[in-house]
Amino acid sequence: MTRTAITRQTRGDPGKIWTLEVSGIAKNYGATCALRNASLRLRPGKVHALLGENGAGKSTLVKIVVGAIQPDRGRIALNGVPTRFAGVRQAIAAGVIPIYQHLSLFPHLSVLENLSAFAIAGAAGLRARPALVPRATARAWLDAVGLDCDLDLPVERLSVGERQLVEIARGLGQRCTLLVLDEPTAALTHDETDRLFGVVRRLCAEGTAVLFISHKFDEIEALADDVTVLRDGVAVIDAEPLASLSRAELVRAMLGDMVESGERALPQPGAPMLIATGLMLGPAAGIATRPADITVRAGEIVGLAGLVGSGALELAAALAGARPVAAGTLAVRGETLPAGDRARAVAAGVGYVPADRHAEGLFGPLAALQNASSSTVALFSRGGLLRPGGEAAALMPWLRRLNLHPFQPERPAAGFSGGNQQKLLLSRNLAVPDLRVLVVLEPTRGVDIAARETIHDALVEAAGRGVAVVIASSDLDEVMALSHRILVVRHGSLDGELPRGTGRAALMDRLAGRRAA
Amino acid sequence: MMALTGARPRRFSGRLNPPAAVWVVLLLFCVFALAVPRFASAGNLENLLRVGSILGIAACGQTIVLILGGIEFSFGASAALASVVTVLALPSAGVAGGFAAGAAAVLLVGLVNGTLVARFSLPPFLVTLGMLMVAGGGAAVLAGGLPIDAPPSDAFSWPARGRVVGIPVPILAAAASFVLLHLLLAHTRAGRLWYLVGANGTAARLSGITVWRSVLAGYLLAGAFCALAAVILTSRVASGQPGLAPNLPFETIAACAVGGIPLAGGQGRAVQTLCGVLVIAMLNNAVVLLNLPVAYQQLMIAAVILGAVMLQQAPRLLLLLPVRPARQSEEDRS
């Protein structure tokens, strides 16, 4: 209903009105605050990059823009008209067209049927048999994105890049005011990327605004005019021209600029404990890799640092035997371990705290105590029977030491806050008898300050007992504060090593791929 | 994971908190005792328990599979297969040998189920549904399509009709099964691993648990419970019947659900299953005493089961109140 009005405004007065103006957006998921105060202002005919680390609130903001979820607070205006989308369909009707990383086409249906999908979705009930878009019209849309293909071909026969163009063409049919590209190049070849960018530029020339979400700086610099950076749910760079910002400034904005590292005293490393030789992540990780040799000594804390998608987390997980690898061997104090076999790794004293607490760490409905004891059931059972009181005796000291709060070991793990859930996962590993290696991914993601201190203390203390500790974190302050040395991971491979005390700026330069310090 | 943090506080398995289903059992007992003639007589109650014992023993097996996050549909058909195998083996193997052969058939079905689920990661729903057909078809082929009578003998009817110190054997067997199930779940390492694997298989694997071994053991033990139920059932019907107990798997699932065991896995206690079994046994008994037409019997049983499940899992729904959205983790910032 507002579509005609919008079009008129855009045509009548380009440049004066923001195509999309989003301000003061807040969104909570239960106790988790995804967005505090996010804003986004898009000029017509310009490409606007949205940057931020995982958990910064990017995807939440994008979902709000495309109408998939509703904000708790804040306002959205499309071409100056205050708007609130009740769902994705309304957003599409208003000309906000999302193109996802995971394509939203119907692979078994033809190109023509896919191009008609919005019309079909909008058709009322069972009465009307929705008409397909006329072939000539469909052809015109495809021409506009420079795609020449058979309209009757099933979409699954097209390449990923071609499919993305079909999605954009489908958006064009809807009078696209705002195109939302969510990591569109993740699965594209170089040529396909160029072709996509050409189409995007042509759309911009016609006045369409583009919201571009990507982790690749090269692409952002090649395509974007303006940039917004989110950190912890707040827009720390708010719709500034990209040309006015350096790459290092963007990385700093993304990762935060907090206190410098280096206050905590670390123990003296001893003999080599964990030796990984020729470790290569498989193609399953989606990254071509060079073999990595990593040695961690007893009492040493090694940090793996990398931007999102660099493979730092995957490499660390492989060190704990938590994921299969394409090649390479792991040895803990001379004992060789098969890759990807956690049972053997735990038996050899290798602890592991996964990055995704809920999916890979917690037993939500089970008691906190049972969560903490899952790696050590053998310790308090004899002849297949659980020794009465054995579990509490083995785990309670750790839960006390890590200050579980509230101290209710019988309470289901799902009922604890993120920081306390993390303490449960840490106790699970600290209680492993003869713990030799401890690999912790994202030690304090989504954790409050007090729990963060407790967890950091526990990691340093573990190193003090002679455990070889590996941490991988997207929180650079954490890596710098805890690590004896930092291994830089880019494209799934090691890309150099930085000693303790390396400055933040130098580290960020290295993560972004620049050698000069 | 949000679903796991529902509004209802969940209790630590292995503790002796009475489940909410206890109230359903007591309520139903009082209602039937007052409203149904002869319901509360000692003779009827013994009969009720004796009939319900087969369901109870099989439900013990179902409980293990549900805690593992699976589901077991093949119970009825494998009991039917067991009855046919038992009767066919009688002439050559004798009574004990016949029952052993029948029990072995059920264990074999459990082994196949467990292997397919644990080693090949196939969905339990499809695997056990498939085995339901395999076992049912196998029983029909072996029996030649018709029930075969077993030659009557005291030894053959002992599992169903015998008594030990005055108590019917099936009731003793069911009681032993529930005690065993409780011990397994609350006091053994294997039981603990079932909870962990059922609550979050990935987290269990990353904790160093050999998940497949735990799953396989679970399905095998479930098969063992079903085998015991099948022996008693075969003894009771004194024949090999390819169409025996077609509702057994569904009744065991209903019993667990009435007891408040969620199908999502990772939760469930023996006492919950016991309550659910008692509810269904009382219902089955009462509709017979009331002499209702068969169609009404089914409708009444269905209504009570659904009501009990709603009372367990969504009490607000039963009172026609709007369901609150699931809470997220509570905030305990220090």
Low-confidence winner among A68-77, A87-96, A250-259 (lowest mean pLDDT): A250-259
- To test the contact with chain A by mutation, choose from B66, B209, B334 the residue with the greatest count of A C-beta atoms within 10 A, namely B334
Chain B residue with minimal CA distance to A360?
B203
CATH number of B18-24+37-315: 1.10.3470
Burial B31-43 (b: 16+ CB within 10 A, else e): ebeeebeebeeee
Mutate to test the interface with A, among B15, B195, B206 (most CBs of A within 10 A): B206
pLDDT at position A161 = 78
Give contacts of A343 with chain B, Cβ < 8 Å: 208-210
Output the DSSP codes for B27-38.
HHHHHHHHHSTT
| Mean pLDDT of all residues in B143-154 | 89
**A-chain residues near B330 (CB < 8 A):** 31, 415-417
Please name the residue of chain B whose CA is at the shortest distance from the CA of residue A412: B10
Per-residue confidence (pLDDT) for residue A102, from 0 to 100:
60
Q: Judge: B5–A364 Cβ closer than 8 Å, yes or no.
A: yes
Q: State which residue of chain B sits closest to A407, comparing Cα positions.
A: B332
Domain boundaries, given as residue ranges, for chain B:
18-24+37-315
Q: What is the pLDDT of residue B186?
A: 94
- Residue A211: the pLDDT is 94
What would the 3-class secondary structure string for A248-280 be? HHHHHHHHCCCCCCCCCCCCCCCCEEEEEEEEE
Q: Give pLDDT tens digits for B196-250.
A: 999 999 999 999 999 999 999 999 999 999 999 999 999 999 999 999 999 999 9
Chain B partners within 8 Å of A367 (Cβ)? 12
- With 0-12 / 13-18 / 19 or more C-beta atoms within 10 angstroms meaning exposed / middle / buried, residue B22 is middle
- Please list the alpha-helical segments (H only) found in chain B: 21-35, 42-67, 75-120, 124-143, 154-161, 169-187, 189-199, 201-206, 211-237, 248-258, 270-289, 294-313, 315-318
Instruction: Tell me if A361 and B206 make a contact (CB, 8 A cut-off).
Output: yes
Instruction: Among A342, A385, A414, select the one facing B188 at the smallest CB separation.
Output: A385
Residue A267 has pLDDT above 60, yes or no: yes
- The percent of residues in chain B predicted with pLDDT above 70, rounded, is 88
Question: Domains, chain A, ranges and CATH?
Answer: 262-349+437-446+468-517 (3.40.50.300)
pLDDT over 90 at B329, yes or no = no
Q: What is the DSSP letter of A134?
A: P
Least CB–CB distance from A386: residue in B192, B266, B333: B192
Whether the CB of B332 is below 8 Å from some CB of chain A: the reply is: yes
Interchain CB distance below 8 Å, A448 and B333: yes
**Which of A258, A360, A259, A250 lies closest to A307 in space, CA to CA?**
A250
pLDDT digits (tens, 9 = 90+) for A175-185: 788 999 887 77
Could you tell me how many CB contacts below 8 A there are between chain A and chain B?
129
Both ends of chain B: CA-CA distance in Å? 23
pLDDT of B110: 97
On whether any CB of chain A is under 8 Å from the CB of B267, the answer is: yes
**What pLDDT is attached to residue A259?**
44
pLDDT band at residue B274 using 50, 70 and 90 as cut-offs:
very high
Name the band, by pLDDT with cuts 50, 70 and 90, for residue A16.
low
CA distance A105 to A100: 10
Distance from CA of A486 to the nearest CA of B (A): 25
Dump pLDDT digits (tens) for A207-223.
Answer: 899 999 887 788 888 89
Residue B112 has pLDDT above 80, yes or no: yes
> Does B328 contact A347 at a Cβ distance shorter than 8 Å?
no
CA–CA gap between residue B282 and residue A169 (Å, rounded): 64
State the pLDDT at residue B55. 97
Cα dihedral B56→B61→B63→B65 (10° resolution): -160
Nearest by CB to A343, from B13, B196, B208: name it: B208
Sheet bearing A485-490, strands edge to edge:
A350-353, A437-441, A468-472, A301-305, A485-490, A493-499
Q: Once rounded to an integer, what is the mean pLDDT over residues B121-137?
A: 95
Cα–Cα distance for residue pair B107/B282, rounded to 1 Å: 29
**Are the beta carbons of B1 and A354 separated by less than 8 Å?**
no
Q: Is the pLDDT of residue B299 over 60?
A: yes
A352 to B210: CB separation less than 8 angstroms, yes or no: no
Nearest CA in chain A to B183: A385
Interface of B with A in 19-58 (CB under 8 A): none
Summary mean pLDDT of chain A: 85
- Look at residue B3 in the predicted model and tell me its pLDDT: 38
B1 in A contact zone (CB under 8 Å): yes
Please state, in angstroms and rounded to a whole number, the distance separating the CA atoms of residues A216 and A49. 11
C-alpha–C-alpha distance, residues B241 and A503, integer Å: 79
The pLDDT assigned to A124 comes to 58
CB-nearest partner of A374 from B1, B196, B334: B196
Q: Which residues of B touch A426 (CB under 8 A)?
A: none
A358·B267 Cβ contact <8 A: no
Chain B nearest C-alpha distance from A205 (Å) = 45
Work out the minimum CA distance from A369 to partner chain B, whole angstroms. Answer: 10
B199 at interface of A, judged by CB pairs closer than 8 A:
yes
User: Which of A343, A362, A377 comes nearest B192 by C-beta?
Assistant: A377
Min mean pLDDT across A423-427, B5-9, B137-141 is at: B5-9
Question: Would you state the pLDDT for residue A163?
Answer: 84
A507 falls in which pLDDT band (50, 70, 90)?
A: confident
What pLDDT score was predicted for residue A288?
Answer: 57
CA distance B260 to chain A (A): 14
Average pLDDT over residues A81-107: 82
Q: Which long-range contacts (CB under 8 A, 24 or more apart) does A284-288 make?
A: A284/A324, A285/A311, A285/A314, A285/A323, A285/A492, A287/A311, A287/A314, A287/A491, A287/A492, A288/A491, A288/A492
Confidence of residue A452 (pLDDT cuts 50, 70, 90): confident
Q: What is the pLDDT of residue A103?
A: 66
Q: Which band of pLDDT confidence, cut at 50, 70 and 90, is reported for residue A2? A: very low
Nearest beta carbon to residue A31 from set B196, B267, B328: B328
- A333 to each of A375, A436, B297, how far by Cα in Å? 20, 8, 68
Token pair in block for residue B324: 């609150």
**A110-148 pLDDT, tens digit each:** 999 888 887 777 665 555 566 788 888 898 888 877 888
Structure letter (DSSP) for residue A343: H
Better pLDDT: B195 or A155: B195
Which one of A377, A421, A451 has the shortest CB-CB distance to B193? A377
Nearest CB partner across the interface for B206, out of A352, A378, A403: A352
Least confident range from A227-241, A254-268, B88-102: namely: A254-268
Q: Which pLDDT tens digit goes with each residue over B31-77? A: 999 999 899 999 999 999 999 999 999 999 999 999 999 999 999 99
Q: Which residues of A touch B196 (CB under 8 A)?
A: 363, 366, 370, 374, 377
Which residues in chain B have their CB less than 8 angstroms from residue A361's CB?
Answer: 200, 203, 206
Q: What is the mean pLDDT of chain B?
A: 88
A342/B206 touch (CB, cutoff 8 Å), yes or no: yes
Q: Quick check: helix, strand or coil at residue B162?
A: coil
pTM score of the predicted model: 0.76
Query: What pLDDT is attached to residue B2?
Result: 36
pLDDT-derived band at B178 (thresholds 50, 70, 90) equals: very high
Which of B189, B204, B329 comes nearest A416 by C-beta?
A: B329
Q: Which of B112, B123, B52, B50 is nearest to B81 (CA)?
A: B112
Q: List the single residue in B196, B202, B208 with the smallest CB-CB distance to A346.
A: B208
Cβ–Cβ contact B334 with A under 8 A: yes
Minimal CA separation from B186 to chain A, in Å: 8
Place of tokens 């077993």: B150
Range with lowest mean pLDDT among A57-61, A279-283, B113-117, B133-137: A279-283
Question: B207, B261, B327, B331: best mutation site toward chain A, by most A Cβ within 10 Å?
Answer: B207
List the alpha helices (DSSP H) in A25-134: 58-65, 88-93, 111-115, 117-122
| 3-state secondary structure (DSSP) of residue A459 | helix
Tell me which of B89 and A405 has the higher pLDDT: B89
Residues of A within 8 A of B209 (CB-CB) are 343, 374, 377
Chain B closest-CA separation from residue A356 CA (Å): 10
Cβ-based contacts of B13 with chain A (< 8 Å): 366
Q: Considering only alpha carbons, which residue of chain A is nearest residue B204?
A: A374
Residues 6+ apart with CB under 8 A from A503: A260
First to last CA, chain A: 55
Residue A304 forms beta bridges with which residues?
A: A472, A487
Decide if B8 touches A, using CB distance below 8 A: no
Contact B110, B58 (CB under 8 A): no
Touching check for B203 and chain A: CB below 8 Å?
Answer: yes
Q: How far away is chain B from the Cα of A31, in angstroms, using its nearest Cα? A: 6
Neighbours of A338 (CB within 10 A): 12
Contacts of A448 in chain B (CB under 8 A): 333-334
Beta bridge partners of A68: none
pLDDT at A395 over 60: yes
